[in-house]
Structure formats: structure tokens, C-alpha cells
């Protein structure tokens, strides 16, 4: 009986850890409004073959919208429940060849393979993330921020709280 109690306790602690860790280590989840998704798509102008990353992809709504618009869309999310939900939605929409969700932190990824990066970050990460993007992304790469500004990137356009940036030449 004691072994069952210990095993059950370990499982419960592991589940609590998986649910609470993203809140402690990352941002809280806030869904992107439909109008903002439409603005994001407008700014990106996705074409077949484009590779777009959504950093902190949440429930995958941006990833699925991008895949439906023709791009190959990749989401990075650390909340396992949101990863599960996103993957389920991708499968229901039959987008498995165009939309992908990774259960991992984008901080550990080199993002140089993407033609556009989308993020719904929060103020305290934006400067550090801007430096990461300037270092890893090729000049001319589009960066889209939903709501919060990058203090170290030059904003090109803004609409509905969605901000467009272009990675500058490195010299």
C-alpha cells in the first residue's frame, strides 16, 4: 500500500511540475485575437515555401492560420497541455505536412532557418529576444510582435497592436 501511495504522489508531483513550470519559466498564455492574426498574416504575406516560427505558440492558432495561408509554420511552446491541444488541432485541420509544434524552449534554438518570426512576448524578454533575433536571423527577415515592442529593433509598421520589424544588415 505504501508503494502505491509513493508512486501516486510522484505522479501527482510530476503533473503539477509540468503544469506550473511554464508559468514560472515562461510567459502566461494569452490567446491572440482574430483581428491580430489577420494583421500578422497581412504583414507576413506568406508564400508557399516560407518557413515561419511562432515563439511561444500557445494554442497554435497562429501556426494553423499560417499553414492555411501557404507557409510551413513551426511553433515553439513549453506548456505540454498547449502543445497537446495545438497538435490535436493541426491533426483535425489536416495540416500535419505544413504545421509543426515543438515542445521546447525557443531560447535554445537557432532560428536562422526561418524567413519570418512571430512572437507574443512580454516586456521583460523583448530586449534579450531582440538581440537573439538580430544575431541569428538573416538581414531582411521579418519579425512580428503582437502587442509589445522590441526596444532594440526599428519598427517598420504597426496595426492593431501588431508590430512589424525587419532585421537590418549586419555591419
Task: Output phi, psi for 42, to 5 deg.
Answer: -60, -45
Do the beta carbons of residue 98 and residue 52 sit within 8 Å? no
Q: What value does the mean pLDDT take over residues 149-160?
A: 96
Rounded-to-integer distance, Cα 169 and Cα 171, Å:
6
The pTM score is: 0.84
66 vs 2, more confident: 66
Band the pLDDT of 4: cuts 50, 70, 90.
low
Q: What value does the mean pLDDT take over residues 6-16?
A: 66
Would you state the CATH architecture of domain 28-166? 3-Layer(aba) Sandwich (3.40)
DSSP assignment string, 7-35: HHHHHHHHHHHHHHHHHHHSPPP-PPPHH
- Give me the percent of the chain exceeding a pLDDT of 90: 78
Do the beta carbons of residue 133 and residue 123 sit within 8 Å? no
Supply the mean pLDDT for the chain: 90
Sign of the torsion formed by the C-alpha atoms of 30, 160, 151 and 55:
positive
Rounded-to-integer distance, Cα 171 and Cα 168, Å:
9
pLDDT attached to residue 7: 63
For residue 168, is pLDDT > 70?
Answer: yes
Amino acid at each position: 500500500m505504501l508503494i502505491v501511495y509513493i508512486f501516486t504522489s510522484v505522479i501527482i508531483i510530476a503533473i503539477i511540475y509540468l503544469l506550473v513550470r511554464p508559468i514560472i519559466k515562461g510567459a502566461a498564455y494569452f490567446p491572440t485575437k482574430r483581428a491580430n492574426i489577420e494583421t500578422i498574416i497581412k504583414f507576413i504575406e506568406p508564400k508557399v515555401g516560407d518557413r515561419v516560427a511562432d515563439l511561444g505558440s500557445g494554442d497554435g492558432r497562429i501556426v494553423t492560420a499560417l499553414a492555411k495561408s501557404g507557409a510551413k509554420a513551426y511553433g515553439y511552446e513549453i506548456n505540454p497541455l498547449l502543445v497537446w491541444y495545438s497538435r490535436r488541432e493541426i491533426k483535425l485541420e489536416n495540416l500535419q505536412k505544413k504545421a509543426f509544434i515543438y515542445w521546447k524552449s525557443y531560447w535554445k534554438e537557432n532560428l536562422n532557418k526561418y524567413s519570418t518570426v512571430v512572437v507574443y512576448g512580454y516586456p521583460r524578454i523583448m530586449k534579450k529576444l531582440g538581440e537573439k533575433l538580430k544575431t541569428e536571423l538573416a538581414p531582411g527577415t521579418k519579425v512580428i510582435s503582437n502587442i509589445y515592442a522590441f526596444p532594440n529593433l526599428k519598427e517598420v509598421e504597426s496595426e492593431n497592436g501588431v508590430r512589424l520589424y525587419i532585421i537590418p544588415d549586419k555591419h
